[in-house]
Amino acid sequence: MKNSKKLFILLLIIGLSLTVLSLTVTARAEDDIIPIYEGSEIIYDDLFGFEEIPVILNETSVIFQEGNLRRLWCKAPEGRSPYEIIRNFESAIENIQGQIIFSTREPQSLEIDEKKLSDYFKINRQDRGLATRVFSYTHFPGEMSEYLVGKVRTGERDSYVIVAAGRGHWAAQQSEDTYYEIVTLELEAMEMDMVNMEALQQGLAVQGRIAIYNILFDTGESRVKAESEEALTTIAGFLQDNHSQRYLVVGHTDSMGGYDMNLRLSQARAEAVVAELVNVYGINQEQLIPVGVGPAAPVMSNSTEEGRARNRRVEIVEL
């Protein structure tokens, strides 16, 4: 107890001796991938530009992703618990058709590749010293009690949203206050005609599916064009590396030409892709199931050519 008091006095002295600029800022709506909790105070808004951070996929897996990184450190309104904050963000992500990838109420117990979650969280995070007024921020990774990872789509880009919430540090007399940090990573727009092994692995690990745009067909036809070789070679390599896992090969179309016709066309295209992978690349027939859904699952509006192009695709879906 005496040591704790000495530590608190020492920290106060350090805080008084350091000059730290701590301005409350207002989030700019055009920059927001997801809004902050209503009534919160934004204490720091750090725009890092293009950087790399770890993204936790589950209790045993982490991937490093690059993109435009932003970190907001916020104080929640009085009386709000860390759990209430995290549930709010969970609902906000789902309300914009985002996906919850991972969440935990025991972040301090999580360890992946012999590294604690709090160590991953500190990567590419601003160092603000040890002044008393930033003590909760400085020690926050060790104080977090709620943690959430989601993924959302804004325009043509995917973004990861990471939210961590917890109480302030006792030494700064903020243990009754709730703080949270929002980390957003806006990924670079992916060219529609590109697919590689890394994209396949990450898409299936994170979302359980990945859209392939460079498997090509003539309009209204189901024969796989020769220009599809690069994509099929990549997919075949992935399937061979994961031969014990089964997948759906799903054909998608735009809405032009009528529902019944597109449903038949999408099924024929899915079957053609499976036949190509089996007959040309030696993939086990039992590993793949062809499915056609026609225009039933668009990713964009069919009212524009850009939207129709996004909707014409083949997806690999993990079973």
Q: Which string of b and e fits 197-226 if b means at least 16 CB within 10 Å? A: eebbeebbebeeebbbbbbebeeeebebee
197-318: CATH topology is 60s Ribosomal Protein L30; Chain: A; (3.30.1330)
Asked if residue 107 lies in contact with residue 146, where contact means CB atoms within 8 angstroms, the answer is yes
Other C-beta atoms closer than 10 Å to the C-beta of 240 total 13
At 232, list the tokens: 């099929």
CA terminus-to-terminus distance, the chain: 56
pLDDT tens track of the chain, all 319 residues? 445 555 544 444 444 333 333 333 333 344 578 889 999 999 999 999 988 999 998 898 888 888 899 999 999 999 999 999 999 999 999 888 888 989 999 999 999 999 999 999 999 999 887 776 788 999 899 999 999 999 887 766 789 999 999 999 988 889 999 999 999 999 875 555 567 787 788 778 777 888 898 898 888 899 999 989 999 999 999 999 999 999 999 999 999 888 999 999 999 999 999 999 999 999 999 999 999 999 999 887 888 777 788 889 999 999 9
pTM here is 0.60
* Domain spans in the chain, listed from the N-terminal domain onward: 2-186, 197-318
Integer CA distances (angstroms), 178 to 37, 73, 103, 267, 285, in order: 12, 11, 18, 52, 54
Name 213's Cβ contacts closer than 8 Å, sequence gap at least 6. 192, 193, 194, 195, 312, 313
Q: What is the DSSP letter of 170?
A: G
